[in-house]
Amino acid sequence: MRDGYGEHLWYAVSNNFKNNTRTLPLNSDTVGTITVRDANGNVEFDGTGVNGVVAVIIAPGYPLTRQDGVVQNRIAANTNDPTHYLDNIASEDNASFNDGSLDGFFSGPVFDPADPAVTIANDRVVAITQSEIMAAIEKRVAAEVMNCLVGYAAANGGRYPWAADLAATAAGNFSDSANTLFGRVPNLMCNTGGDGHTPPCDLLPVGTVPGGMLTTWGSVPNCFVTNNWFSQNYWNEQVFYSLASAYKPRIGPPPSCGTCLSVDGTGSKQVVVMVAGKAIGAQTRANKADPAQYLETPNSTGGTNYATKSATPPFNDRVRYFPTP
C-alpha cells in the first residue's frame, strides 16, 4: 500500500497491542499508549493517560526539507531511515517516538506561519483508537462465547451449563455454581454434569445432574477453551452470561419457553452474552464480584430483561443473544 505520492506507508504500534512479544492482558480495559497531536501541536490523544491510541498509519507525502535541516532524499540507501520520509515540527518529530509518553506523532499538513503557501510538514496520520479496535474485538469475543454455549446446548439436549458464581470468580474460581443463572463463563462444569467420581469432577461435590451433561468444553466444536487467549487476557472476567430458567441443566425432554429472557423488549431468548466495554463513569474493577462495575443497567442486574443499548449514555456493553430474530 502506498500514499498518493507513491510512497510506502509507515506504521507504529502501542506496546500494549503489539503481537510479539505480547503484553498481557489485552482486553476491554487495555489502553493505547501512543500520543497524537494535531497540526498545531495540541495533544489530541495522550499516550500517558486513558486515551492514547493503539496504532498510527502515516502517509509520508513528497520529500521536503525538515525543520532540523535534513533534506529528504529517498534513494535506496535511505529506505529505512525515517528522517528521509517523516517530518518534524517544534513540538514533535514523526521520525521517532517513545511509547507511553507525550513523545508521539503529529498529523499534517503544517504550513509556515510566515508564508502559509509553504508546507513545512506534509505527513498525514490516521490514528487507530482503542474504542475502534475494541468494537471489533468485543464482537468477536461475544461471538466466540456464544458459539461455545450454543454448541454445548446442541450436545446436551438443548440445555446450557450453570454459570460461574460472581463471588467465586472474584476469588479466582471459575467452576460452575449450582442454580446460578447469571454469572461468568465457567471453565469446568462439575455442578452441571459431574457425578462426583469421574475425573475431572471426582473430587468435587456431586453435580445437580449426575453424569448427564458435559463437564468440560472439550467436546464442543470450535469452542474457545481449546485456546488460552480467553483466560490469558482476562476475558473470563469481562464476559457474563444469563440463562433462561427453562434451559437450565437437567435430564429430560427438550426445553421450551414462552418469554424466557428479554432483550430490548423482545422475549424468547434462551441465553444472553454480555462483554463489558472499558470501565466508564464511576466503574472500577476493584470489586470483581459486582457486575455493575462492568456492565450497565439493566444488564448488570442479572434479571430477565437485557439491553443492547441504553437510552441514556454512557453505555458500552457488547451484547449477543440466542436465538436471534
Torsion from C-alpha of 180, 266, 240, 226, nearest 10 degrees:
100
Amino acid at 117: A
Q: Which of 117, 129, 97, 92 is nearest to 107 (CA)?
A: 92
Per-residue pLDDT of the chain (325 residues; tens, 9 = 90+): 899 999 999 999 999 999 988 888 999 999 999 999 999 999 999 999 889 999 999 999 999 999 999 999 999 999 999 999 999 999 999 999 999 999 999 999 999 999 999 999 999 999 999 999 999 999 999 999 999 999 999 999 999 999 999 999 999 999 999 999 999 999 999 999 988 888 888 887 777 777 789 999 988 988 876 568 899 999 999 999 999 999 999 888 889 988 899 999 998 999 999 999 999 889 999 999 999 999 999 999 999 999 998 777 789 999 999 998 7
C-alpha to C-alpha distance for 225 and 187, rounded to whole angstroms = 8
Pairing of strands 105-106, 10-13: unpaired
* pLDDT of the residue at 211: 76
* pLDDT of the residue at 106: 97
* pLDDT of the residue at 1: 87
Give the chain's end-to-end CA distance (angstroms, integer): 40
Q: Which of 278, 311, 283 is nearest to 137 (CA)?
A: 278
Q: Which of 20, 18, 15, 28 is nearest to 236 (CA)?
A: 28
Residue 84: phi, psi to the nearest 5?
-90, 5
**Are residues 228 and 166 in contact, defined by beta-carbon separation less than 8 angstroms?**
no
* pLDDT of the residue at 53: 97
